[in-house]
Amino acid sequence: MSKKSNLETLKPTVERFHQAIRWKDFQSASRIIVPERRKDFQKARIELNDDKDLSITDYEVVDVKVSADGNQATIQSRIQWMRLPSASERTALVTSEFVFRDGAWQLESQEDGPFEGELPSPSPNPSSSPEETPIP
């Protein structure tokens, strides 16, 4: 698949992930996560009772940066959510790292937001060129 076609599939994948978490479709959301982190993500949703206690009230993609080779993307989204028992709505600028792997974009890591700490940032690969190094 060409770099151009990779980029054409990035936006719909990011949108699908945001919509899935907003509507509490964590099964669909987990399919967009890299396979090695899916089980932990699903387990955390059950343990935190997120099907009842987590409400994503709004999201907006505010920035997209793609690596020079077109195989990594850093997405910044503003996400608003509440998790019971707290009645306070929280807003965060969430940084998500997507990788193009096995013919599809997959969420590899995420900083801040309702899933903070569950999709940890990967250690930078020392052999990566500067354009490919994940943005902290």
The answer as to whether 32 is a domain residue is yes
Asked whether the predicted pLDDT for residue 127 surpasses 50, the reply is no
Asked whether the predicted pLDDT for residue 8 surpasses 90, the reply is no
Asked whether the predicted pLDDT for residue 22 surpasses 90, the reply is yes
CATH of the domain at 81: 3.10.450.50
Kind and range of the H or E run holding 30: helix 26-32
CB atoms within 10 A of CB 34: 18
Asked whether the predicted pLDDT for residue 1 surpasses 90, the reply is no
Domain of 73 in residue numbering reads as 3-112
45: buried, middle or exposed (CB in 10 Å: 19+, 13-18, 0-12)? buried
**For 22-48, what is the mean pLDDT?**
96
Residue 3 is predicted with a pLDDT of 66
The answer as to whether 66 is a domain residue is yes
For residue 95, which phi and psi values (nearest 5 degrees)?
-105, 120
Is the Cβ–Cβ distance between 119 and 110 less than 8 Å? yes
The answer as to whether 96 is a domain residue is yes
The answer as to whether 122 is a domain residue is no
The answer as to whether 127 is a domain residue is no
The answer as to whether 131 is a domain residue is no
Residue 7 is predicted with a pLDDT of 77
pLDDT tens digits for 106-123? 999 999 999 988 877 654
Structural domains in the chain (count) = 1
Q: Which residues contact 124 (CB under 8 A, 6 or more apart)?
A: 133, 134
The answer as to whether 120 is a domain residue is no
The answer as to whether 49 is a domain residue is yes
pLDDT tens digits for 53-93? 999 999 999 999 999 999 999 999 999 999 999 999 999 99
Percentage of the chain lying above the pLDDT 90 cut:
76
